[in-house]
Structure 1
Amino acid sequence: MTQLIEDVLLLIFAELHRDPASLYSCILANKTWCRLAIPILWEYFSCAYNPYIHKEESRKKLYNVIAHFLPKDKLTEINIELLPSNPISNELLFNYMDFFTHLTPTWIEDMVQLTCKKDSTSVFNKLLLEYEIYFLIFSKCKNIRYFNWTKSKKLFLLCPNVKEFFSNLRHLKLNVEYMTPEILFNLTAVCQNITNLEVINNNYDEDSKDDDDLISFIRMKNNLPFLCAQLSDVISKNVVTLKKIILKLTITLISPTFFPLLVNLQYLSLYNDDDDELYDSVKWQEWEHYLSLTFFPNLQYLGTSYLPSSIECLIIERSGGKILEIDICHTLDHPTENRILIKTISEHCPMIRRLTMELINSNNLNEVCNIFSKCVHLEEIYFTTMSNGDKLNTVSKDNDQFVTKIARNFISE
Structure 2
Amino acid sequence: MNLPHLCLENICLNLAQDSKTLHSCVLVNKQWSISTVPILWRDPFRHCKILRKPNKLVPLLNTYLSFLPSTTQKLLDITSIIGQRPTIFNYPVYLRSISVVLIHGSVEYWIDSRFGADSASLQRITSICQVLCEYFLCNSSGIDYLDLEYANWFDIFKLNGAITSLSSIKSVVIDDQRNFPDQFEKLSSVMKNAQYLRLSLRYRKNDTVCKNIVNLLQTQKFLKKVSLFSHVSDFFQDIWDTLASSQLLHKSLTSIEFHEATFDNSALLQLSRFYNLKHLKLYRCRNFIGEIQEINDSLIFQNLSQLIIYKIGMNPRILEFLLKRSNRSLNVLEFHDHVLNFHETVLWCTNFCQNLSRFVASIQVNQISDIILLFKECKKLDYFHIYDAKLLIEDEEEPWVEYRPPELELFQANELLKELGSCIPMTMRTIKIWMNWLITIEDIEEFISNCVNFGLNMKVLEFRHCKGFGNAHKEVIRNYLMNTVTNHFDYHFDL
Classify the TM-score, shorter chain. 0.7 to 0.9
The 3 A distance-change label for structure 1 pair 157 and 373 is same
Preserved CA contact (<8 Å) 2:256 2:280: yes
AA paired with 1:381?
F
Match of 2:340 among 349, 360, 385: 360
Cα separation, partners in 2 of 1:398 and 1:229, compared to 1, 3 Å? farther
Gaps of 5+ in 2: 390-495
**For residue 234 of structure 1, what is the amino acid of its counterpart?**
L
Tell which has more relative contact order, 1 or 2 (C-alpha 8 A, sep 6+).
Answer: 1
Match for residue 253 of structure 1 among 224, 227, 238: 238
Matches of 1:8 and 1:393 in 2, distance apart? 47
Distance in 1, matches of 2:357 and 2:10, equals: 30
What is the alpha-carbon distance in structure 1 between the residues aligned to residue 40 and residue 195 of structure 2?
A: 25
Find out whether 1:347 has 2:325 as its counterpart: yes
Distance in 1 of aligned mates of 2:297 and 2:147: 30
C-alpha contact (below 8 Å) 2:291/2:315 kept by paired residues? no
Could you say what secondary structure the match of 1:360 adopts?
A: coil
Q: Is the 8 A contact 1:267 1:301 kept in 2?
A: yes
Give the structure 2 partner of residue 272 of structure 1.
260
Say whether 1:296 aligns with 2:299.
no
**What is the CA deviation profile of residues 163-192 of structure 1, one whole-angstrom value per residue up to 9, with x for unaligned ones?**
223221101111236564312222222221
In structure 2, how many angstroms separate the alpha carbons of the residues matched to 1:312 and 1:82?
67
Structure 2 contact 107–128 (Cα < 8 Å) conserved: no
For the residue of structure 2 that corresponds to 1:48, the secondary structure is helix
Residues 132 and 390 (structure 1 numbering): CA distance in 2 closer, same or farther, change over 3 Å? farther
**Once the two structures are aligned, what percentage of the paired residues are identical?**
17
Equivalent positions of 1:92-131 (< 5 A) are 92-105=87-100, 106-111=102-107, 113-115=109-111, 117-118=115-116, 119=118, 123-131=122-130
Structure 1 counterpart SS, 2:141:
coil
Structure 1 unaligned segments of length 5 or more: list them: 203-219
Which one-letter code corresponds to 1:103 in the other structure?
I
Question: What is residue 134 of structure 1 aligned with on the other side?
Answer: 133
Inter-partner Cα distance in structure 2 for 1:192 and 1:173: 15
Cα distance in 1 for residues equivalent to 2:205 and 2:315:
36
CA distance in 2, matches of 1:134, 1:244: 26
Relative to the length of structure 1, the TM-score reads: 0.73
Contact in 1 for aligned 2:169/2:193 (Cα 8 Å): yes
Q: Distance in 1 between matches of 2:253 and 2:191?
A: 17
Deviation at 1:255, TM superposition (A): 4.7
- Given that 2:265 and 2:290 are in contact with CA atoms closer than 8 Å, whether structure 1 keeps it comes out as no
Query: Aligned residues, how many?
Result: 365
| C-alpha deviation, 1:194, in angstroms | 1.0
Matches within 5 A, 1:211-226: 220-223=203-206, 226=208
The structural deviation recorded for 1:302 is 0.7
Alignment RMSD: 4.0
Contact 1:180–1:227 (8 Å) recurs in 2: no
**Contact 1:108–1:130 (8 Å) recurs in 2:** yes
**CA distance, structure 2, for counterparts of residue 378 and residue 46 of structure 1:** 36
Which aligned pairs between 1:146-225 and structure 2 lie closer than 5 A? 146-151=145-150, 152-176=152-176, 178=178, 180-201=180-201, 220-223=203-206
1:66 to 64, 67, 71: 64
Q: Which moved more, 1:102-111 or 1:114-123?
A: 114-123
